[in-house]
């Protein structure tokens, strides 16, 4: 008899749909921090000790600039106008007797947020 009652009770309950109202669940938004890049624009130039005007013009025309990503600490340590390197070209002096040097100078600083 218990089996028959449990079967009837099960049949009655399975045909009844029970719905409960639940409040909508708020999904927290992901916190996205933008990527920050520190970029220096450097100028590379060459200069020579010479009385030849065409070699000075050639050096001025061959001056080039390029961008270099750096870390935050280095970015904060340098200022626009800082000369990072000014080396005498000893190989050129030994091989061809020319006096000259390379100069790397910071001409622009920028922070890029992606």
Instruction: Return the domain boundaries, the chain.
Output: 35-114
Rounded average pLDDT over 45-65: 79
88 close to 98: Cβ distance less than 8 angstroms: no
Structure-model confidence comparison of residues 95 and 36, the more confident one = 36
pTM: 0.59
State the pLDDT at residue 34.
Answer: 80
Instruction: Write the class of the CATH domain 35-114.
Output: alpha beta
> What is the rounded CA–CA span in Å between residue 51 and residue 19?
95
Q: What is the pLDDT confidence band of residue 112, given thresholds at 50, 70 and 90?
A: very high
Element (H, E) at 44: strand 36-48
């Amino acid at each position: 008899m218990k089996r028959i009652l449990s079967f009837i009770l099960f049949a009655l309950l399975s045909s009844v749909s029970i719905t409960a109202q639940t409040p909508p669940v708020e999904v927290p938004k992901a916190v996205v921090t933008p990527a920050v890049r520190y970029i220096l624009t450097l100028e590379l130039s060459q200069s020579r000790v010479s009385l030849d005007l065409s070699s000075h013009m050639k050096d001025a025309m061959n001056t080039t600039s390029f961008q270099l990503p750096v870390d935050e600490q280095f970015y904060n340590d340098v200022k626009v106008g800082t000369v990072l390197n000014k080396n005498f070209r000893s190989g050129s002096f030994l091989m061809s007797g020319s006096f000259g040097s390379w100069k790397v100078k910071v001409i622009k600083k920028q922070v890029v947020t992606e």
